[in-house]
Structure 1
């Protein structure tokens, strides 16, 4: 609301399949069976859409499903045509990917200056963000690019069309992954409440965001009680309700202070409790004014400063350098930003040219630099918010040219 009020063209897109965006706005979207809900304008400069993943699946991939179901002939090797169309809805991440591709297409247009994506709760949100890497990993192993290229130029017309279609899908998903990882264009804000359990969850989300390469802009603490102006008089004369309010306000202040301590460098913004639930455009507009004036000036300035630092640092992709030695005695270190909350959850694995990193309930495949693909893992440690994995050359495949192949000195 505040961005639209400032003159920017804003699109709010909801990925939450509970479809509560319309309820919050007091606006009813048309959800006709078998159709994709379009963009609706609710105010000048403010457009909204509730993205329906099931409708997208029907609309965007109807032709692909028909093609797959039509070709039941036997094939040697990978035969994607053997899939039943209904199975597509059960493939990991398909619905999430369709929604992300839709958002990426909106971002590629020149219609809006800002796209705000309303995501489901944190666990589902992290699954959505990790979907592009998951699908690309599946494609890489099940139907690699070279195999798709051979099918695309083969004599089987249906398979050639299918290969070209899958290639277009892979290209679209790659664009989504790159958009999410682009810290100059994409950031995330975590909305939480001033409860003790929310501190640990916020820390885990920060850890997961770092692992997935997502920039966390700020944490917004919702429903914070405003300061109470107490009337003059002896403390013992206070009404029990006033005592409860003061105690609860103090607990919230302690939680906010702990959040700022546990999440250094990430602004913690305050959205004060408005009393009645803000439903409808007028109430939400009033809330946007209240948030702007809720004492967030210092944190907003900090956010601008941190964002510039983050942009300068790029997307914080893993950096590789040689620590010591030469030739077969070299020691290389891969260093990646990973503020792990619970070190006991850290898991590392190696699958061919990828390093599998898991922490705080999230896992990511990290493609190794060429020099590290000729090495074996020698050890790993956590160092002040970073994961450091050390490698030594594998004498069976090492060559002198490996030393200068793909790492930061």
Structure 2
């Protein structure tokens, strides 16, 4: 998944990375989730967007295919039968009637567009037709909404129509409700598959594209925090459009343009050094400024030789670092690893441990990897057996381990990139 602010070249780098994979003999699909759709612009051709039709997959070069996903066309083409089923049951009592909506109106419901595209990507991943699927994601805020959409919908469905009630409706005597429950269960299964794919750190990762500017880097820090909270593996941060070095100045006075260039070059590398210090566990790669904008198959193929498919970026990266390690097997995005070695496989999985005591005097600690950019944004809450954690503009609902469901929260603190929440048994709930 390639993520970044608009205008920082994430689509170009995604295409170049994909071409690098294809050159190595991999079968690659580049899918644009950004409804602004600049994928065709980067490749130098226009996709067909006929009304009511789902744009097909287009072959660019041997081993490389691309597609721009249109959520409205997907809804009309893939989900019209679901709307028909919902319309056949006007008597349900869940507060509103989705079957009365037109497919175009359904895209106004929160999360529908995002889920349609993610379900389509999950199907592509299951097909096994491609070795690598590269996602060109929309800007940061929209990307985070996409990643959180599956959990949001699943939690909402469980609250308004709990699983046990859906099961009873599916085996009941009311045929219409049974069909509706079965249809809803298929939707839940598809969305669950998407959620599990996003959380699979062996198959899915994100690459954040940014600029050597302090404002852009500040946003990158918040995205790093959000990806950790959401359980998404941040494979690397790529700093794009970094100026190349120039020979040392001679004794003669420098032209003002040269002084500006040298100052800007030093400023960029100062920002990169600070970014690397703040994210020691994430590889920070550098993509040099290419001069002319690489648009079209030929220029992108040239750029792909500089942006290696294994994750390394050649050019003026004076910061060093070994190329990013590649693993085998199909995956979405790129592989993890750095000069310091890959992150532990369970680093993003909340861990529970008994710190001290026994029985009702026990103290349990829940550790969640969370490098918060702004501690003032940290929020905690609890709803029944779920813990609500919010930070840097993102919120996640976590199901507590069984032992913690009988406890109350005692304290919480941030400790070296981790959120540590301590629990004490509730005497009213704890086994005697």
Query: How would you bin the TM-score normalised by the shorter chain?
Result: over 0.9
Indicate the residue corresponding to 1:252 in structure 2: 268
**SS of alignment partner, residue 125 of structure 2:** helix
Partner deviation per Cα, 1:264-314 (whole Å, 9 max, x = no partner): 12111111111111110111111122334325662524863479633x423
**SS of alignment partner, residue 307 of structure 2:** helix
1:16–1:119 contact (8 Å) kept in structure 2: yes
CA RMSD of aligned residues (A): 1.8
Deviates more, 1:260-269 or 1:286-295: 286-295
Higher-helix-fraction structure? 1
- The offset of 1:54, in angstroms, is 1.0
Partner deviation per Cα, 1:209-239 (whole Å, 9 max, x = no partner): 00000000101111111111357x3241x22
Partner deviation per Cα, 1:87-127 (whole Å, 9 max, x = no partner): 53232211101111111111111211100000011111111
The answer for unaligned runs of 5 or more in structure 2 is 1-18, 309-313, 326-335
Deviates more, 1:206-215 or 1:192-201: 192-201
Indicate the residue corresponding to 1:380 in structure 2: 412
- The offset of 1:85, in angstroms, is 1.6
2:422 pairs with one of 374, 390, 393? 390
Indicate the residue corresponding to 1:91 in structure 2: 109
Partner deviation per Cα, 1:304-356 (whole Å, 9 max, x = no partner): 3479633x423621111111111111111111100011111000000011000
- The offset of 1:72, in angstroms, is 2.4
**Alignment partners' CA distance in 2, 1:15 and 1:23:** 14
1:55 pairs with one of 67, 73, 92? 73
The normalised TM-score by structure 2 is 0.87
**Alignment partners' CA distance in 2, 1:235 and 1:148:** 81
The answer for unaligned runs of 5 or more in structure 1 is 401-409
Indicate the residue corresponding to 1:148 in structure 2: 166
**SS of alignment partner, residue 300 of structure 1:** coil
2:353–2:366 contact (8 Å) kept in structure 1: yes
Indicate the residue corresponding to 2:280 in structure 1: 264
- The offset of 1:66, in angstroms, is 2.0
Partner deviation per Cα, 1:157-191 (whole Å, 9 max, x = no partner): 22211111111111111111111111111110000
**Count of residues paired in the alignment:** 395
**SS of alignment partner, residue 304 of structure 1:** coil
Q: 1:154 to 1:367 in 2, by over 3 A?
A: same
**Alignment partners' CA distance in 1, 2:382 and 2:391:** 15
**SS of alignment partner, residue 129 of structure 2:** coil
Correspondences of 1:8-407 after superposition (within 5 Å): 8-73=26-91, 75=92, 77-78=93-94, 81=97, 84-86=100-102, 88-230=106-248, 233-236=250-253, 238-292=254-308, 293-294=314-315, 298-301=321-324, 304-305=337-338, 309-310=342-343, 312-314=344-346, 316-399=348-431
- The offset of 1:260, in angstroms, is 0.7
**SS of alignment partner, residue 221 of structure 1:** strand
The normalised TM-score by structure 1 is 0.92
**Alignment partners' CA distance in 1, 2:271 and 2:72:** 39
1:219–1:267 contact (8 Å) kept in structure 2: yes
1:40–1:49 contact (8 Å) kept in structure 2: yes
- The offset of 1:68, in angstroms, is 2.0
Runs of 4+ in structure 1 deviating by more than 6 angstroms, as ranges, are: none
